Structure 1
Amino acid sequence: MNNSLIKTVDRTISFSVIIPNKHRLTLLRRAVKSVLKQSYNKFEIIIIDDSSEDEFSSIVNEMGQHEKIKIVRGSGEGAAKARLMGYMKASFPYIAFLDSDDYWGKDKLLYHANAYSLYPEIVACFDLLLLIKDGKQQKVVYPPINYVRGETVLVSMAHVHKELLKDNFIHASAGSFKKYVLGDDFSPKSPNDYLTWLRLSARGSFGVIGCIMTTRTDQPDSLTWNKKILFEESVNIFKEKFLLINTHNILNKYTRMKFLFFSIFILVTFYFAIPPKVKKIILGKSKANKSSFLRIL
């Protein structure tokens, strides 16, 4: 525990930690354990589970009695919708996401609480992320904005927003934010984490914690590995970025054109990658789920 931080942090800051899960009981145990071991204990855990009935029952029996844990049956629509369900049920004013295959360092929430104490004006903050693939350390994901190793710094709204419009560099499990800033505008059509950071960056400055507090482990059975869901989210991200670019007039004409052509390339790539059945839905050749898909457009 960092005693110097624990003495200065605002103890009224409390977090709702939202963990989407599907068929990952072993990994979920690790994720939950990393939260329960936090040196800063002002939090609740909300697990949104899309597993089978048997595994859901196991999770309830194993974790449901803990006073800090809420377990909710998911809708089966992927991690983004699971986060939305958790967001709606959150009791505390600060939101933090944690994917069930990721885990935190023991001082993660302490550093985030300290960031909000140091800079009350920030709307969100994030820490550095360590990527592990196939059991081997791959790299540390560094943001394309100014940060100081081992310290927490403030980054202006204009700077972080401009960089996020280019690409997402904040993993869901690495960030946290003030719930009231978004309110009911938590990406209601597609609550993707990238859209969340984009909208937050249009409303205030961010805190950047120059410490590795989050470990990400890539899993092939990701809740967002569904190609139809990925395509839907790509469409929504494209629309949101295009709207923000034109509304705020942040990027020059050349950069806008680069963004437009790159986004079209990504959408076309996803389109040709998705299964024929989903293509039929997109093209209107199948009535199945057509109305639900068109709602995102």
Structure 2
Amino acid sequence: MDVSVIIPTYNRAHLLYKSINSVLEQTVSPKEIIIVDDFSTDNTKEVVESFQSDKIKYIPNARLKGANGARNTGILMAKGNYIAFQDSDDIWLPTKIEKQVEFMVENPEVDMCFCSLKLINSSRGMVPNRKIEPEEMEHLLERGNFISTQTIFMKKEVAWNTLFDENLKRYQDWDFCLRVSKKYLVHHLDEVLVNVEIHNDSISSKVSEIEALKQFFKKYPDLKESHLINKALYNKVLYYNESQKGMRFNSTKHFSKYLFYKVVDKVFNERDRV
């Protein structure tokens, strides 16, 4: 298998070295490592060039496109028949590629597999926290995302046919995996092969959750009513909108619904929590 690893980066020079090094130190080496620099203003280029590896391809964007524009650039340039995504601030365990390649060879009907990850500085710990079966994949993804991009290993044509939505402000990985699960076979390799450390300058810390949810539910209107947790999140959006308009009664109503759906979901849907 020829594997292309895609790493989008933006002003992460201080973290990028460990991320790239964890890919170069894999027990099964990738065909290429495509680093798409999304118009960084720090010394990212110098960090990349310090490796002096012929596997590394450094692609500087001419303008700021965002992480998913950078990922799409990497997908379209990839020469491998399989694609794996890495983030510029995370660490792969040494056998990640080896174990995912082995899984895909043994299961050629699978279009995408993902491993579990460990959140280093979070009480949540491992994500997902249990084995996800293929037959429940789409249903659970409709409730929320548990597949992070740096855990994904997939056929290139699937990535090419799906691509990331560059217009979404947040939840792009959720959107990407949800679309893949509706058309292709996705399996979970129930083993931690990625370590993730949450940083204060992550996308989720910069983009309003409410605005991102509003945009997401506009793209997927059916999800607003599909599960209790989504009903709760949608009422959270409505509460925020009504409170901003000064409509006290409406905002109180939506906040009460938000709490009600959240509590009921927690009581009755414990198995679905991943």
TM surpasses 0.5: yes
Give the stretch that moved more between structures: 88-97 or 24-33: 88-97
Q: CA deviation at 1:195?
A: 1.3
Task: Say whether 1:45 aligns with 2:33.
Answer: yes
Structure 1 CA distance for aligned equivalents of residues 240 and 202 of structure 2: 20
- Residues 182 and 82 of structure 1: is their aligned pair in 2 closer, same or farther, counting only changes over 3 Å? closer
Any conservation in 2 of the 1:190–1:233 contact (CA below 8 Å)?
no
- Residues 36 and 194 of structure 1: is their aligned pair in 2 closer, same or farther, counting only changes over 3 Å? same
SS of alignment partner, residue 168 of structure 1: coil
Question: Quick one: which amino acid aligns to residue 105 of structure 1?
Answer: L
Task: Say whether 1:194 aligns with 2:179.
Answer: no
| Corresponding residue of 1:36 | 24
**Paired residue for 1:67, among 54, 57, 75?**
54
Structure 1 CA distance for aligned equivalents of residues 8 and 191 of structure 2: 24
Q: CA deviation at 1:163?
A: 0.3
SS of alignment partner, residue 26 of structure 1: helix
| Corresponding residue of 2:230 | 259
User: Which consecutive residues of structure 2, in runs of 5 or more, have no partner in the other structure?
Assistant: 245-274
With normalisation by structure 2, the TM-score equals 0.75
| Corresponding residue of 1:112 | 100
Any conservation in 1 of the 2:11–2:41 contact (CA below 8 Å)?
no
Task: Kindly report which structure 2 residues correspond to 1:120-159, keeping only aligned pairs within 5 A, or say none.
Answer: 120-133=108-121, 138-143=123-128, 146=131, 155-156=133-134, 158-159=135-136
Q: CA deviation at 1:199?
A: 1.0
SS of alignment partner, residue 120 of structure 2: strand
Superposed CA deviations along residues 81-106 of structure 1, whole A, max 9, x for unmatched, are 22122222222122211111101000
Structure 1 CA distance for aligned equivalents of residues 212 and 83 of structure 2: 21
Structure 2 CA distance for aligned equivalents of residues 163 and 37 of structure 1: 34
Superposed CA deviations along residues 228-278 of structure 1, whole A, max 9, x for unmatched, are 7x67754453244435x59xxxxxxx74576245235247659999xxxxx
Give the stretch that moved more between structures: 259-268 or 186-195: 259-268
| Corresponding residue of 1:165 | 142
* Matched positions, count: 240
User: Which consecutive residues of structure 1, in runs of 5 or more, have no partner in the other structure?
Assistant: 1-12, 148-154, 247-253, 274-297
Q: CA deviation at 1:14?
A: 2.3
Q: CA deviation at 1:45?
A: 0.9
Q: Equivalent pairs: percent with the same residue? A: 28
- Residues 87 and 27 of structure 1: is their aligned pair in 2 closer, same or farther, counting only changes over 3 Å? same
Q: CA-atom RMSD, angstroms?
A: 3.1
SS of alignment partner, residue 146 of structure 2: coil
Task: Say whether 1:19 aligns with 2:43.
Answer: no
Q: CA deviation at 1:216?
A: 0.4
SS of alignment partner, residue 146 of structure 1: coil
Superposed CA deviations along residues 54-109 of structure 1, whole A, max 9, x for unmatched, are 5144235324x421111111332322222122222222122211111101000000
Structure 1 CA distance for aligned equivalents of residues 39 and 50 of structure 2: 15
Structure 1 CA distance for aligned equivalents of residues 148 and 56 of structure 2: 23
- Residues 38 and 182 of structure 1: is their aligned pair in 2 closer, same or farther, counting only changes over 3 Å? closer
**Paired residue for 2:221, among 229, 242, 250?**
242
